[in-house]
Amino acid sequence: MSNRPGRKIARQRANTRTHPGARSSFWAAPANRLVVGGALLLFAVVVVVALIASGDDDSADDGFEMNGEPLPTLVVGEPDVAIGLKAPLVVSEDLDGDRVVMGGGGPNDTAKLVVFVAHWCPTCQAEVPELAERLAETPLPEGVEVIAVSTFEDASRDNHPPSDWFASVDWPASVLVDTDNADIAAAFGVSSVPGWVVLDNRNTVVTRAVGGLDITQIDALIGAAAATMA
């Protein structure tokens, strides 16, 4: 089962309160009411804008860069035309705000299993703890790493923010943070979650998959990544 993202809903609301006491002559004067009312309105707008700017999400819009062509979108039931193509180079941030580079044309030290997940996706909510346990208990083959991409973030939906979710399951690997527009998911041709992409150490697509996988299937993807390092 895979999950497609819904519309992102605005998550900041301004609350106003009336003055609790009796009005003095100052408040009674229309000109003064106009001046003070305008100042309060301006203050409210500034507060709301500041809250929106600071945000309570984990998006990485300011730190995102991409170089190269996005991969074709994976279509379930059809041959994957992205296999053998170079993944574009993307630059984003992890949950600690550190810069992370993934993909691109040059060689890397590792092959990768990249899993795209969304905090509100029920299948992802079941998959991530199982994968976290698998990674904690079973060492990965030499030269292979697993990277999660937190995408399709929506503060109006459950299990938000993603950073708390990953912390709660003791996620032991890197987590890249996608942008509000899900640019990293689009760059890798992922339109629903969970999405899985295996890259060799030259950032060539080995295979892709979508939907919930059991541990045996996940191990097969890890094995596909490891086979490219032989």
pLDDT tens track for 151-200: 999 999 999 999 999 999 999 999 999 999 999 999 999 999 999 999 99
- Would you state the pLDDT for residue 29? 46
Residue with tokens 């292979």: 144
| CATH number of residue 219's parent domain | 3.40.30.10
| Position 190, amino acid | V
pLDDT for residue 44 is more than 80: no
Stronger pLDDT, 105 or 73, i.e. the higher one:
73
C-alpha span between 76 and 74 (Å, rounded): 6
End-to-end CA distance of the chain: 33
What is the distance of C-alpha 88 from the center of its chain?
A: 17
Give the structural domain span for 221. 65-227
C-alpha span between 11 and 57 (Å, rounded): 10
User: Please, what is the average pLDDT of the chain?
Assistant: 81
- 218, two tokens: 């996940």
Stronger pLDDT, 221 or 42, i.e. the higher one:
221
Q: Are residues 49 and 116 in the same domain?
A: no
Q: Alpha helix locations (H) across the chain?
A: 25-28, 30-54, 122-137, 162-168, 183-187, 215-227
Q: Are residues 47 and 152 in the same domain?
A: no
13, part of any domain: no
- Would you state the pLDDT for residue 62? 73
Supply angle C-alpha 18, 55, 70, rounded to 5.
Answer: 145
| Position 142, amino acid | E
Mean of the pLDDT values across residues 109-136?
97
Mean of the pLDDT values across residues 6-31?
37
- Would you state the pLDDT for residue 36? 42
